[in-house]
Amino acid sequence: MEIRGPLLLPARREDIELETLDGLTLVGELALPAGREPVATLVTLHPLPTAGGFMDSHIFRKAAGRLPALADLAVLRFNTRGTMSPRGTSEGTFDGGRAEAFDVAAAMEFVRERGLPAPWLVGWSFGTELALKYGRDHDIAGAVLLSPPLHRATDAEVAAWARDDRPLIVLVPEFDDYLRPDAAAQRFASVPHAVLIPVEGGKHLWVGENQTRRVLTEIVAAINPDALPLPTDWDGEIVDEA
């Protein structure tokens, strides 16, 4: 069967709750490889909730549906404060990226308590702002940024990554609505070790199977390259469609 769309490959999936330091409960899901331990962990930070972003935004839903089986990765998804999805609604109110610092910290504390290995922040759009602003404060292996708009993360917050030797991988769509490759090269020039990957034909929302596969491939290339190339077909058990 071709791996595409909302297909769910085998994994150990668990509904979880995160507790923030300011007293909120956030809802989420942890997906782990079936029958073995993960080699690394994706801590996903979703797009802007006021524009429809949530833990089920399609790239992250597909990462959770595929990468535990295909790349031995754990995938942690959660709704930031005030965000609703079929999993439920996280307590609190959207705060434009300010109090969401507590949400990132809650996710990282969960990773620490569970002993999940080699956590990487993977932010998409608004989630990249959270990764840039707060990721350096936590014990992460690195960060992957998908379609960074750089609306909320300041030039100083970006430049601060130059003093941090952890990998910073930046995927910039050719036809992004907010920040295209040439402009991104200028905005990230202050971080010499940042790896900027322009994606030909890409758009901010990464719609379509070809763009999904490209994004998931680049994530795996950064975090567990031994798992490449990612299969496009699956002849084992199929759990369901999300």
Question: Which CATH number does the domain housing residue 76 bear?
Answer: 3.40.50.1820
Question: Distance between CA atoms of 5 and 210, rounded to whole angstroms?
Answer: 11
In a domain, 119, yes or no: yes
Identify the band that residue 241 occupies on the pLDDT scale cut at 50, 70 and 90: low
In a domain, 231, yes or no: no
Reported as type and span, the H/E element at residue 72 is none
> What are the phi and psi torsion angles at 2 (to 5°)?
-70, 135
In a domain, 177, yes or no: yes
How many structural domains are present in the chain? 1
Cross-sheet strand order for the sheet of 168-173 = 12-19, 25-32, 73-78, 40-45, 119-124, 142-146, 168-173, 195-199
In a domain, 70, yes or no: yes
Question: If you average pLDDT over residues 217-223, what whole number do you get?
Answer: 98
Q: What is the pLDDT of residues 125-155, one digit of tens each?
A: 999 999 999 999 999 999 999 999 999 999 9
- What proportion of the chain, given as a percentage, has pLDDT over 90? 97
Question: Distance between CA atoms of 62 and 47, rounded to whole angstroms?
Answer: 15
In 3D space, the residue among 199, 157, 154, 196 whose CA is nearest the CA of residue 176 turns out to be 199
Q: What is the pLDDT of residues 152-181, one digit of tens each?
A: 999 999 999 999 999 999 999 999 999 999
Identify the band that residue 238 occupies on the pLDDT scale cut at 50, 70 and 90: confident
Compute the mean pLDDT over every residue in the chain, rounded to the nearest whole number: 97
Q: Which domain holds residue 103?
A: 40-225
